[in-house]
Each structure stands twice: as structure tokens, then as C-alpha cells.
């Protein structure tokens, strides 16, 4: 269990990236949803001990993460949003080098760990290929391989599927799902579908604070009967925003469709729609962000 209490981080210039944030994350896949700039990466970097919070506490299975960073680093795996590698080195050599840095000094143990992870991430057949020649999805899977060195108990992945094509995204999410059966995995993303597909629990962050948390299906059920849809002219959207609680607008088949929140039938041509995680996300941002 990861326990975060009253976490605040203020950058120079009085930029408040985290604002008294509290959250509990159990074992398994946990989705952290939020728009760009919401504080997701700051939170992930703070948990990963790459920066010290201004105030607040983080504990993981009895370890005080802020006061005992070396202890958490031994059982932590981290795939940052921007994962850099030496492009001319092969996947095998790079992973072997990272295993040494992780403290796996015995050569036979290291070889076993490297080979097992390359197989687990489906990179065995390209193990001698330079990382520069890897596709985006292959680089992300390599990132997971390095994050899993040392059999971590806590795995953090920050915006892992951004830029991946649908096939690579599906392969990558299946890999994360397998890993999440045994350890705490925090999936930080702005892609609602990734959380909907993978995570039995989730939280939504906006402006450095948690605005919603719970089980996705239960959060969706709370909106049942309260979401209404209408196709409108693009020029009318601003007028509807003044009269209704518009939670999202999108193009569908070239036409503008708006979704509003209302506890009873608003009339005026609106029809009821079954809510999904998109509606939960945008409603939470509307009310808490």
C-alpha cells in the first residue's frame, strides 16, 4: 500500500504543482488521470525520489519515502515520460549495463535477469539490435524491462502509451496488466481509454489536487441518468455553456455533439446517454479543476 498525505510541492516562482494531495494506492493497477499540467509528473517524480516535496509524507509498506529514499529505490521501478537511452547500444548490452547499476553484480544472476526480461517484454528476437532502430512501442517495452530490474514492488509508468500506434498500445497495455497482478503499478496518463481498459481503481488529478477517486465502474454508475446529449451547431456551443453544465463537446461524423450534466430531463432536444469514464473524467475536471 502506498500512502500519500498532504503532499505539496512548490517550484520557484511560487508555482504550486501539488496542493495538499492525499491518496492511497493498493496493490495492482492504479490509474492516475489528469490533463497536461495537472501535476501528474511532479507526483510521479516525487514518489520516485527524484525530487523532495515542499511538505507532506509518502509511505510505502512501512518505508518513509521522503526520509529514506535509498530504501524505496531498491524496490522501485520507474519509466518516466521521457525515457532516454544510448541509441547505438544494443538492447541486451544496455539492459545488462543497467542491471549492474541496479546492483546485480553476479554475472550469471544478471544474465538470467536480462534474458528473462527481454523475453517477458517480447524483445528477445531484437536483443542485439541498436536501440536507435526500435519503434516507439519497442522503446517503451524496453523501458518497462529496465524498470523491472531487481523485481520491484512498486512500478511507476508516466504517460507510457503517448505516441504509440493501436497495435503497440495494445501490446504494451497487456504487458502492464500482467505485471500488475503482483505489484503496485501506477499508470499516470491523460488517456482515459488506458485507465478504462486496465485499472480496477483510479484517481483524477487537477491543479495539483485529487478531485475524484474510486472504482471506475462505481464512478460511472454515479452519473447514470444525469448525462444528456445533443447535436448542435458549432457556433451555438458557447451559448449552451451559459445555460447548461456542458461537460464535453466533440465532433462525431463532422457534427458537434455536446454532453451536459442535469439531474432531470432538460428538454430542448437533449436525449439521455449512458455515461462512461470520459464523462466521469470531464465532470470531475469541471467540478474540481
Fold classification of 2-217 (topology level): Rossmann fold (3.40.50)
Strands 201-206 vs 28-33: parallel, antiparallel or unpaired: parallel
User: Can you tell me whether residue 34 is helix, strand or coil?
Assistant: coil
Q: What is the pTM of this model?
A: 0.86
Question: Residue 205 and residue 1: Cα distance in Å, rounded?
Answer: 19
pLDDT in tens, 86-114: 778 999 999 999 899 888 889 999 999 99
pLDDT of residue 289 exceeding 60, the answer is no
Question: What pLDDT does residue 216 have?
Answer: 94
pLDDT (tens digit per residue) in 240-254: 999 999 999 998 888
Q: End-to-end CA distance of the chain, in Å?
A: 27
Furthest-apart CA atoms within the chain: distance in Å = 72
Helix (H) or strand (E) holding 24: strand 15-25
DSSP per-residue letters across 83-114: ----TTSBHHHHHHHHHHHTT---HHHHHHHH
Task: Tell me if 161 sits within 8 A of 194, measured CB to CB.
Answer: yes
Residue 127 CB burial class (10 angstroms; 0-12, 13-18, ≥19): middle
Q: In which band, very low, low, confident or very high, does the pLDDT at 288 lie, cut at 50, 70 and 90?
A: low
Looking at residue 43, its pLDDT comes to 94
pLDDT cut 70: percent of the chain above it:
98
| Lookup: cell for 200 | 480496477
What's the confidence (pLDDT) of residue 144?
86
Beta bridge partners of residue 263, listed in sequence order: none
**How sure is the predictor about 85, in pLDDT bands with cuts at 50, 70 and 90?**
low
C-alpha cell at 230: 445533443
Other beta carbons within 10 Å of 169: 21
Mean pLDDT across the chain:
90
User: Using 50, 70 and 90 to split pLDDT, how confident is the model at 143?
Assistant: confident
Which pLDDT tens digit goes with each residue over 50-79? 999 999 999 999 999 999 999 999 899 988
Q: How far apart are CA 113 and CA 150, in angstroms?
A: 8
Amino acid at each position: 500500500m502506498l500512502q500519500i498525505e498532504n503532499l505539496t510541492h512548490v517550484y520557484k516562482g511560487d508555482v504550486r504543482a501539488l496542493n495538499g494531495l492525499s491518496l492511497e494506492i493498493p496493490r495492482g493497477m492504479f490509474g492516475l488521470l489528469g490533463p497536461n499540467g495537472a501535476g501528474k509528473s511532479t507526483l510521479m517524480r516525487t514518489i520516485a525520489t527524484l525530487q523532495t516535496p515542499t511538505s507532506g509524507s509518502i509511505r510505502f509498506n512501512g518505508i518513509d519515502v521522503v526520509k529514506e529514499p535509498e530504501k524505496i529505490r531498491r524496490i522501485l521501478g520507474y519509466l518516466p515520460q521521457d525515457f532516454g537511452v544510448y541509441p547505438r547500444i544494443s538492447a541486451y548490452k544496455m539492459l545488462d549495463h543497467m542491471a549492474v547499476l541496479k546492483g546485480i553484480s553476479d554475472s550469471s544472476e544478471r544474465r538470467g535477469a536480462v534474458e528473462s526480461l527481454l523475453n517477458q517484454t517480447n524483445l528477445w528476437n531484437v536483443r542485439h539490435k541498436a536501440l536507435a532502430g526500435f519503434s516507439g512501442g519497442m522503446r517503451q517495452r524496453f523501458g518497462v524491462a529496465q524498470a523491472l530490474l531487481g523485481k520491484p514492488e512498486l512500478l511507476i509508468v508516466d504517460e507510457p502509451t503517448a505516441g504509440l500506434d493501436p497495435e503497440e498500445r495494445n501490446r504494451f497495455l497487456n504487458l502492464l496488466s500482467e505485471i500488475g497482478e503482483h505489484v503496485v503499478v501506477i499508470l499516470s496518463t491523460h488517456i482515459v481509454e488506458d485507465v478504462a481498459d486496465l485499472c480496477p481503481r483510479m484517481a483524477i488529478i487537477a491543479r495539483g489536487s485529487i478531485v475524484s477517486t474510486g472504482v471506475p465502474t462505481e464512478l460511472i454508475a454515479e452519473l447514470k441518468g444525469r448525462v444528456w446529449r445533443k447535436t448542435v451547431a458549432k457556433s451555438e456551443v458557447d451559448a449552451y455553456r451559459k445555460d447548461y453544465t456542458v461537460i464535453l463537446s466533440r465532433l462525431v461524423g463532422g457534427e458537434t455533439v455536446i454532453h451536459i450534466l442535469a439531474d432531470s430531463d432538460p428538454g430542448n432536444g437533449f436525449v439521455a446517454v449512458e455515461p462512461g469514464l470520459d464523462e466521469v473524467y470531464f465532470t470531475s475536471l469541471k467540478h474540481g479543476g
